[in-house]
Structure 1
């Protein structure tokens, strides 16, 4: 099986997985325990991805081999996630509770996958929540408190939730005025809210609002859209680690 069939071509998802985790790690005290947690986190995502693709293709594909090609990656990545995560969780049972909190959101994403509606707005928003909730988990593993992780996790949530409608205005819904207006309204609201978390967050969120207003309709290539979001994610990481 080729590498492209094992690793999903979802660059935005990787940023969403990495930034909150790294923010939580560096806001606490980075240690060796973060390495198996990161491995379990990424391998778990890959296992869920392939499991959801199996669900989707089982329903929509007429080729019985299509869903079958996701079985081995799902089992392999799932076993890897358990091998990395269970030894870490044995002396820290709160990690299992944290993982259980993600189950309802994974269930929502799985339902959308089964219905072949993975690009739906609410499906994307549901995926953002557990991705950002890993921040306080990584922070707690590094000796920080749950409470100290709330504000930075909310900052990540406000940013990554905004990328869902914004990216749609750049690609799949680039001709939709409703999506454009909704994206701009969301980013304006986020800009009004983030000073409650930290006044410094107004700087990057003003930039995010500007790009939501200015860039749609300019015919930017997908690669350029992705590069802009990578920069936005890195800026968010730097600001979150710097101010909290």
Structure 2
């Protein structure tokens, strides 16, 4: 049986980076493993469940939602039993799921608001991962959360400026100003390593703009950029 997988390949970076940066900002413990596997399966279940709101191929999408959701719930019981209060983060994600469901029902999956909603959900998972070991947040937890949101928001601006909005000069300037402002904000707070983590994003938003890159090539560069960001944030923690 061929797996039914999301087509948004860039979402995998959002799935992985905030979670493990959140874990690293606190303490990595063994329940993080089933937590992460359950988180992956929950994401895979969310994809067909959102497609249900388009009211097409309902039986097919319902089947795949169940295929992924059942093992996801079983795996997520491990962090829930380890830290019962972690369920709060699940509740925090519900409004963002509703927003994504709305955009899906309107066939506006590429809308900026839909992207930002998903970014917050993925970043909340990073907070949950940080919260799991000790049931508390640190300043580092919030730094990771903010950095994750800002990084993937920038990625969204950049990708749209290269593909869907490439003919809009106003969107180009929005992307450039955003990418320039973010490291300056971190620098003003004395977080120079975090600021440096955003410099590759600034560079590629300007240097690559207007290049005839295919979506695949853009995605490959984004994977590399995300890897640099991940390493730099880990360095900032030490």
Class of the TM-score when normalised by the shorter of the 2 chains: over 0.9
Aligned partners of 1:29 and 1:142 also within 8 Å: yes
Q: 1:219 aligns with which of 194, 207, 212?
A: 212
User: 1:144: Cα distance to partner?
Assistant: 7.5
Q: Which residue number corresponds to residue 102 of structure 1? A: 93
> TM-score normalised to the size of structure 2?
0.93
Q: 1:14 to 1:191 in 2, by over 3 A?
A: same
Aligned partners of 1:28 and 1:144 also within 8 Å: no
User: 1:193: Cα distance to partner?
Assistant: 1.3
Q: 2:168 aligns with which of 160, 173, 176?
A: 176
User: 1:90: Cα distance to partner?
Assistant: 2.7
Q: State how 1:1-244 maps to structure 2 within 5 Å.
A: 2-3=2-3, 6-56=4-54, 58=55, 61=56, 66-143=57-134, 145-147=136-138, 148-195=140-187, 196=189, 198-244=191-237
Q: 1:240 to 1:145 in 2, by over 3 A?
A: farther
Which consecutive residues of structure 1, in runs of 5 or more, have no partner in the other structure? none
> TM-score normalised to the size of structure 1?
0.90
Number of aligned residue pairs = 235
Aligned partners of 1:16 and 1:160 also within 8 Å: yes
Aligned partners of 1:191 and 1:205 also within 8 Å: yes
Alpha-carbon separation, structure 2, partners of 1:152 and 1:102: 17
User: 1:131: Cα distance to partner?
Assistant: 0.7
Aligned partners of 1:24 and 1:135 also within 8 Å: yes
User: 1:149: Cα distance to partner?
Assistant: 0.2
Q: 1:224 to 1:197 in 2, by over 3 A?
A: farther
Alpha-carbon separation, structure 2, partners of 1:190 and 1:26: 23
User: 1:142: Cα distance to partner?
Assistant: 3.2
SS at match of 2:173: helix
Alpha-carbon separation, structure 2, partners of 1:235 and 1:209: 13
SS at match of 2:198: helix
RMSD across aligned positions (CA)? 1.6
SS at match of 1:17: helix
User: 1:120: Cα distance to partner?
Assistant: 0.4
Which deviations, in whole Å up to 9, do the C-alpha atoms of 1:143-198 show, x marking residues without a partner? 47413300121111110011112101112222221221111111122122122261
Aligned partners of 1:23 and 1:237 also within 8 Å: yes
Which consecutive residues of structure 2, in runs of 5 or more, have no partner in the other structure? none
SS at match of 1:102: helix
